[in-house]
Amino acid sequence: MRAVFPGSFDPATQGHIDVARRAAGMFDEVVMCVLTNPKKTGRLPLPGRLALLADMTSDLANVTVDSSTGRLLVDYCRAAGIGVIVRGLRTPGELGHEWPMAQMSRHLSRIETLFVPTSPAQACISSTLVSTTTTSRRKPA
């Protein structure tokens, strides 16, 4: 069975890799799909995010990296023959945001969502925090 682990991965963190590694043990293939929103500007360009994810997952034989722009995740899943969406949860509060999306994915396409709690050592790391910290450490030009 194939699963997709979607996200902006801007940038990818060890928390993302923890979830990908654990999902890789449950599925025949896990596609880490970098989703891009044309209305938002990411910190890392798409090719950079794809290359970073490919490098970070190079030891996981059944994890591949892909991207999707401007379409619903369920449409991507249907086109790719994927039946499960993997979502990492760092805090219980994130479930409130993820739950309605999981319900809608199931309603629209019968695609199930698997929630994977992040390992405690990785739970405090977020892409936003990493980006903010990295940006604030840069010296002005």
**Residue 9 assigned to a binding site:** yes
- Distance between CA atoms of residues 86 and 89, nearest Å: 10
| Domains in the chain: boundaries | 2-137
pTM score, whole prediction: 0.81
**Residue 35 assigned to a binding site:** no
**Residue 112 assigned to a binding site:** no
| pLDDT on residue 78 | 94
- Distance between CA atoms of residues 4 and 23, nearest Å: 9
- Catalytic amino acids? 16, 40, 90, 127
- Distance between CA atoms of residues 3 and 114, nearest Å: 9
CA torsion sign, 132 to 134 to 139 to 140?
negative
> Is there a contact between 34 and 7 (Cβ–Cβ < 8 Å)?
yes
Fold (topology level) of 2-137: Rossmann fold (3.40.50)
- Summarize pLDDT for 10-69 with one digit per residue, the tens: 989 999 999 999 999 999 999 999 998 677 777 889 999 999 999 999 999 999 999 998
